[in-house]
């Protein structure tokens, strides 16, 4: 099935072999065993490790290769379009504009070869200041990376505390320059994070958002405003629920919330979109028609151009006609 991914981090696409290679190239000793480097015990530890291995990337060529390799792996899994989150704060050895253009170049090279058409979501870190956020968006306006489609925000919600008011001006500026807006919310914090993203950041979709299930009024708001939740099952199980039986995906679907299925950090979690779609099928018992529906919702929620969205729908229609 031609698939669409809206919630995947470039920082989470490094496999253990690539990390070890980057450490050798940088002349650094790995502080983690190669066998366990991709197995952090909690969100804070994951973010610390992301900082470390992204900091091993010292050249634009290394960035371009990582971006290209992610697009190639997505293609191998049948993903035809992706919006990839990149948070410059993790990549300490590179200037922000150099990093983002190198990512765009890797995606463009892959697309030119007929691989997954990947685009860029630049992300703020929750611990940044309001001024830093506005500075980032102003830079994106002055010198937009060639495959930029939107602005995101990620990081540990619970640790950072409320951030909606702090970043409202940056997201408002992003809207004026035509960028799509999404935000991680309703993961390490509860429904209040989703309310803030909707009311203060004015996002059109939510990354994760699964704890919305705890607030019936929020569920009504998501449905009334046609807000999509970009859900990552395995990631949520690892960091929140402990078992797939406790995940609220089925409840969200049954109540009429629009959800898509995504991988979050595919290499770190050892998943791909096919395996996550299969897991969603076991949770929701929705069959191939459910997977097609989730992909239709991903196309609708994407920040793709009208022409690209039409192309993606046509590809999905051809597939559906063959299997249904």
* 160: exposed, middle or buried (Cβ count in 10 Å: 0-12, 13-18, 19+): middle
Q: Please, are residues 107 and 146 in contact by the beta-carbon 8 Å criterion?
A: no
Q: Please, are residues 210 and 252 in contact by the beta-carbon 8 Å criterion?
A: yes
Q: Which of 121, 188, 203, 181 is nearest to 157 (CA)?
A: 188
Distance of CA 273 to the CA centre of its chain: 12
CB within 8 A of 151, min separation 6: which ones?
A: 121, 122, 123, 124, 137, 140, 170, 171, 174, 179, 180, 181, 182
Q: How far apart are CA 57 and CA 178, in angstroms?
A: 30
Q: Please, are residues 57 and 22 in contact by the beta-carbon 8 Å criterion?
A: yes
Active site residues: 187
Total length of the chain: 324
**Phi and psi for 261 in degrees, rounded to 5?**
-115, 135
């Amino acid at each position: 099935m031609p698939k669409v991914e809206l919630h995947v981090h470039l920082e989470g696409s490094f496999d253990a072999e690539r990390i070890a290679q980057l450490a050798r190239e940088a002349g650094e000793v790995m502080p983690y065993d190669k066998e366990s480097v991709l197995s952090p015990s909690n969100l804070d530890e994951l973010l610390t490790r992301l900082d470390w291995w992204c900091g091993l990337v010292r050249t634009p060529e290394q960035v371009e290769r990582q971006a290209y390799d992610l697009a190639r792996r997505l293609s191998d899994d049948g993903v035809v379009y992706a919006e990839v989150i990149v948070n410059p704060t993790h990549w300490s050895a590179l200037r922000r504009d150099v990093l983002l253009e190198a990512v765009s170049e890797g995606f463009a090279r892959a697309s030119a070869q007929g691989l997954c058409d990947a685009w860029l979501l630049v992300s703020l870190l929750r611990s940044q200041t309001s001024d830093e956020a506005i500075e980032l968006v102003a830079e994106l306006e002055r010198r937009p990376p060639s495959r930029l489609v939107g602005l995101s925000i990620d990081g540990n919600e619970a640790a950072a505390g409320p951030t909606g008011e702090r970043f409202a001006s940056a997201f408002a500026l992003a809207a004026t320059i035509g960028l799509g807006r999404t935000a991680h919310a309703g993961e390490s914090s509860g429904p209040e994070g989703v309310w803030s993203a909707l009311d203060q950041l004015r996002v059109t979709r939510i990354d994760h958002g699964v704890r919305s299930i705890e607030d019936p009024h929020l569920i009504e708001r998501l449905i009334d405003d046609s807000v999509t939740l970009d859900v990552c099952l395995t990631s949520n199980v690892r960091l929140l629920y402990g078992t797939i039986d406790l995940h609220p995906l089925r409840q969200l679907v049954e109540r009429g919330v629009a959800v898509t299925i995504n991988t979050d950090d595919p290499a770190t979690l050892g998943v791909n979109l096919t395996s996550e779609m299969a897991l969603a099928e076991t949770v929701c018992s929705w069959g191939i028609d459910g997977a097609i529906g989730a992909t239709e919702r991903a196309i609708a929620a994407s920040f793709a151009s009208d022409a690209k969205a039409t192309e993606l729908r046509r590809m999905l229609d051809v597939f559906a006609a063959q299997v249904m």
